Structure 1
């Protein structure tokens, strides 16, 4: 194995050891898995060391290893290695130590070499870092759109909690969004199939992973029962209002809107896959780890076997439908060409339609009104996408409108759990909204600053 491959693999091995400690070690007060701070540190370090292969990347990797090592010594590393807490803990600790040792060896060799480990003879083309930035931006935007933008949790305004959430929710939402997008683009399918796969992912998240669809009082959030009871269907044990809010919310805010913006950052790559074998592997592992952590949380065990089987069947049906639609309707007409409809008109209309569901009450009439507004957006998009006047920037404008609406609405309420002070709460709102505004500006502007020079010159005027 080459040194540039050895570093991230070794860091991932160490992360697996820390994850194992959370599984077999002492649980949290509520019986869940204890996540050590070293886990996100090693996952980020693995990604950085894989992308930034020079000396600077090696230094950052060494710093990450040093921090985790010092923290582990303080957490009883020696006693765990000799089996004082049992064989499973000892195995997890040894996996961690082996990973850290291998990463240190490879990082030191990289530092001693003083240059990128890829040789000059027969060297592969220099990696396009703008693509890495595009992928990273999508991961961050998915985490923000799914959770942080709404600012309803007790991590609102907490820099440490936000940093962890960006990594964790990037894995939980951004990784599957990347995988679904790459699959659809490789097969030459369009947005209808992609949205159906996103619907499958959203259904899996709310019905199989966190099982919030079936929870009577998930996480102790304020107003949960008031929103659930008016549209509760006792025979199936779920609320119509929650089903719409959670599944459609995931489709739009966790997946579709971030992908629409990220593709518009570099229109020349909008219909191309972004991930290679390594990227696909990283994304799949990240999603699996994040999903397992949620599933094993006692708070996420509210669904019965019949309910879980029904959700699994619905997920499968949505995937099959995506395949059928994809085979019948190939790639979208929308491209980076000159727009025939005002981008700002699309943004304004989409913003109004995005606002309607949030103004609806938690009743069946409200569900019908919200679903009608969302369906209107879907129909208009389907019709517009069949014309040459519709471009990638128009699709991005719709995504930006939904994200901006959610960010602005977050100013009107306080977190639904925890006690957050006024200052940190509004600082959080402003920060998240600025990130979304920047992402929207990069997508809607006429130029593509993130693209390499060769791709910029190749783009049409739009």
Structure 2
């Protein structure tokens, strides 16, 4: 089937615009009263996710490659642009947990998987459900791919420039920057060269796949649990209200939770019973839980919490409309 270039560009623009909304706005970071900040973040977020999707589709890879490249994106944003992975002052994250090899350990554990899932995988999944005819195809031609890459680099430079105003004078050590660049290269190589292409699942349905409401609930528990274990909130200065060396407990628990969820999801999606409605339930459950966590943890004022909750209601309505279309 021949794909209309205009339709592909529209899908790419939808993905670029949706990404910072999912990753930042629906978590309450920033609050709705500062939504204009998305204009500064859309170049790196939007172009980054579009670029990842284009590379994955052009090489015939699947969701493992998306997640690996999403982790690489997280290192670009947090390690090279914001330099929050190593900064001893930015956001106060150096005090969350012991610094390991110069890294803000808990912040790194929280944000690299967060970007892989919420900044990359879920926006791609949602747009694939909105535009199912293009889900296995690139959205852009070669020129569009180059443009996305250029905008992504410029967006990273813009983010680095704006960070100088909130973390003045800090520059990550050259050794750390080199290590981040190496990690990005290794993740990209693994994703685009060594990760096997996704197998075709069997056509027969399997009882091993739970109903979509169960998938949504479990996705919500995992998303909320992972954030709550690692992000200090409610006056806490360390993850999960721990103190001292006890911070390792929620950090290990979060890692085990993520691994268990990944293994379970791999088992479910390997069967022919996994359908679009399961994918939407997975995305919806994670998004609703992550917005609920934002209402609890990210609202500076009552107005911020109420506006984020209202945004969550709008999001639920849109997910419900997409669910009707998916059926």
TM-score for the superposition, normalised by structure 2: 0.82
Measured after TM superposition, the shift of residue 312 of structure 1 is 1.0
Task: Name which of 32, 35, 60 aligns with 1:157.
Answer: 32
Aligned counterparts, 1:11-50, within 5 A: none
Q: Deviations over 1:300-330 (max 9, x none)?
A: 844101111111111111112113443x334
State how far apart, in whole Å, the 2-side matches of 1:277 and 1:285 are.
Answer: 12
Where does structure 2 lack aligned partners over 5 or more consecutive residues? 231-238, 240-246
Corresponding residue for 1:147? 24
Measured after TM superposition, the shift of residue 353 of structure 1 is 1.6
State how far apart, in whole Å, the 2-side matches of 1:238 and 1:248 are.
Answer: 15
Corresponding residue for 1:437? 316
State how far apart, in whole Å, the 1-side matches of 2:4 and 2:200 are.
Answer: 31
Q: Deviations over 1:41-89 (max 9, x none)?
A: xxxxxxxxxxxxxxxxxxxxxxxxxxxxxxxxxxxxxxxxxxxxxxxxx
Measured after TM superposition, the shift of residue 331 of structure 1 is 5.5
State how far apart, in whole Å, the 1-side matches of 2:40 and 2:206 are.
Answer: 38
Task: Name which of 195, 200, 204 aligns with 2:67.
Answer: 195
Q: Deviations over 1:280-300 (max 9, x none)?
A: 243223212211112234238
State whether residues 66 and 120 of structure 2, in contact with CA within 8 Å, keep that contact through their aligned partners in structure 1: no
Task: Name which of 329, 341, 348 aligns with 2:197.
Answer: 329
Measured after TM superposition, the shift of residue 199 of structure 1 is 1.2
2:82 is equivalent to residue 215 of structure 1: no
CA RMSD of aligned residues (A): 2.9
Corresponding residue for 1:378? 262
State how far apart, in whole Å, the 1-side matches of 2:67 and 2:54 are.
Answer: 13
Task: Name which of 172, 178, 192 aligns with 2:44.
Answer: 172
Corresponding residue for 1:287? 152
Cα 1:435–1:185 shift into 2, 3 Å: farther
TM-score for the superposition, normalised by structure 1: 0.60
2:108 is equivalent to residue 243 of structure 1: yes
2:211 is equivalent to residue 342 of structure 1: yes
State whether residues 190 and 332 of structure 1, in contact with CA within 8 Å, keep that contact through their aligned partners in structure 2: no
Corresponding residue for 1:353? 222
Larger radius of gyration: 1
Corresponding residue pairs, total: 305
Secondary structure at the aligned position of 2:24 is classed as: helix
Q: Deviations over 1:240-287 (max 9, x none)?
A: 211111111111111111111111113222111112234324322321
Cα 1:275–1:428 shift into 2, 3 Å: farther
User: Higher relative contact order at CA 8 Å, sep ≥6: structure 1 or structure 2?
Assistant: 2
2:99 is equivalent to residue 232 of structure 1: yes
State whether residues 219 and 286 of structure 2, in contact with CA within 8 Å, keep that contact through their aligned partners in structure 1: yes
Where does structure 1 lack aligned partners over 5 or more consecutive residues? 1-124, 449-461
Q: Deviations over 1:66-114 (max 9, x none)?
A: xxxxxxxxxxxxxxxxxxxxxxxxxxxxxxxxxxxxxxxxxxxxxxxxx
Q: Which moved more, 1:364-373 or 1:377-386?
A: 377-386
State how far apart, in whole Å, the 2-side matches of 1:264 and 1:334 are.
Answer: 21
State whether residues 87 and 94 of structure 2, in contact with CA within 8 Å, keep that contact through their aligned partners in structure 1: no
Corresponding residue for 2:288? 404
